[in-house]
Chain A
Amino acid sequence: MDWTVLLPHIPRLMDGLLITLWVTVLGTLASVAGALLLAGAAASPFGPVRGIVRVYTEIILGLPILVLLYLIYFVAPDLGLRLDEISAGVLTLTLYYSPYMAEAIRGAVGSIPPGQIDAARMVGMPGLSIARRIVAPQVLGLVIPPLTGLMIGLAKDTAILSVISVQEFAYRTKQVVSRTYAPFEVWTFVAVVYWMLLSAFETLMRGAEGRALRFRESR
């Protein structure tokens, strides 16, 4: 292992990392918003709305993100929608991750025993209070672990944007590997950087989960 080959390329890699962070933040915010919208629409009283959400979800769950990106970047211009590289990337991440996050929310809501809600209703609690005081606190605790996994997935999937020439971390990494032919030095460095950032994020989310679950007895 010869780490010195890496040194001249570190600024290049760090520039890419900043783009990755920026795209991750945009993509996460937009996906969570999209997921809440989808989860809400999935509980809609209108059959057609539920149907559309379901078909969309099933297609996305089967579609490789690369294919979606390709459609948005290369095919959509023919239909009159022409987005720059970053916008096309963020839109792809949002369309792709919202249904997964919506499924996680659906799963958490579904795991609350319906008896609880019935009981709350029987003692005369209004609907909004039930949502706020019974459902939300429990769902929050249950939804954080899978959501954390999905956010980490999203952060790592930003690498796919390198395919449409967004010069993020993975793009720069491949560039440096091809210049130096030192794949193990470069990828070890990259893996450690990824790991440090994502571990910090994970620790943060564990803390949030602990706080959300503090009303439950410990096990």
Chain B
Amino acid sequence: MFDTELFLESVPTLADAALVTIRLTVVSGALGLLAGALSAAAQLSGVTALRILSRIYVSLMRGTPLFVQLLVVSFGLPMLGVSADPFLAAALAIGLNSGAYVTEILRAGVLAVPAGQIEAAAAVGLSPVRIWTRILLPQAFAISLPALAAELTIVLKSTPLASVVAVTEMTYSGVLIQSRAFSAIEVFVPIAVGYILIAQAILRGARHLEGRLARARA
């Protein structure tokens, strides 16, 4: 039994909530990439203190549930006097969490860059910072693109957890309708399709970028 009326009535609400999901995914993903790049560089920098710091960060973020991290950021920030907009708090928590996974992805990417390139760059007198920003990170990024895109789809799919800190994204928006209508399928199908479409956009975008980077390198 498919209630077409309920389906049609739900679409505008779900579409609004889909925008929240997309914004949250993009902002969290960007924060995650930034955190991950810094942390990967710290881990491979050869400075012991930085390496340990980065390891602790990765271990804490990966080793504890995202739910706990969301609570700590959402209820901890206001205690430190930082005003916590629910959206920003959620994006920060999800971004920091994703950054730990991005660290490992970029670290593997950097290790895949042929060592000869670094020696050559050092030989022509490039500074270590330059070597990182000009040679290692761009290539590691290109090598890691498929994995980074997959990680962004994971970020997309962890956004529903933001509903515990008062962000009404697509899934929770659907739950609100479901519990009023006592019916799942009319809401459940468009939500599933919504996630698949957003993920497709991410994956296709990444593949497009991968193609362009490959051409630029060739």
Direct contact of A and B (CB under 8 A): yes
Binding site for B on A (CB under 8 A): 58-59, 61-67, 70, 100, 103-104, 106-108, 110-111, 113, 141-142, 145-146, 148-149, 152-153, 156, 159, 170, 183, 187-188, 190-191, 194-199, 202, 213, 216-217, 219
A62-B196, A202-B62 known; A106 vs B146 contact (CB < 8 Å): yes
Question: Do residues A61 and B63 form an inter-chain contact, with CB atoms below 8 A?
Answer: no
* B interface: dominant SS: helix
What are 29 A-B interface contacts by the 8 Å CB criterion? A58-B199, A58-B203, A59-B196, A62-B156, A62-B200, A63-B157, A63-B195, A64-B160, A66-B171, A67-B192, A70-B188, A100-B154, A103-B147, A142-B111, A145-B105, A146-B104, A149-B62, A149-B105, A159-B65, A187-B71, A191-B64, A196-B63, A198-B59, A198-B63, A199-B59, A202-B59, A202-B63, A217-B115, A219-B111
Question: Do residues B150 and A62 form an inter-chain contact, with CB atoms below 8 A?
Answer: no
For the complex formed, measure the closest distance between the CB of B96 and the CB atoms of chain A, giving whole angstroms: 15
Question: Do residues B63 and A67 form an inter-chain contact, with CB atoms below 8 A?
Answer: no
Question: Do residues A195 and B195 form an inter-chain contact, with CB atoms below 8 A?
Answer: no
A107-B146, A146-B104 known; A153 vs B65 contact (CB < 8 Å): no
Question: Do residues B147 and A104 form an inter-chain contact, with CB atoms below 8 A?
Answer: yes
The one of B68, B143, B188 in contact with A187, judged by C-beta atoms closer than 8 angstroms, is B68
Contacts of A141 in B (CB 8 A): 111
Q: How many A-B residue pairs have CB under 8 A?
A: 114
For the complex, give the distance between the alpha carbons of A145 and B197 in Å: 28
Contacts of A110 in B (CB 8 A): 146
Contacts of B112 in A (CB 8 A): 111, 142
Question: Do residues B63 and A152 form an inter-chain contact, with CB atoms below 8 A?
Answer: yes
Contacts of A67 in B (CB 8 A): 188, 191-192, 195
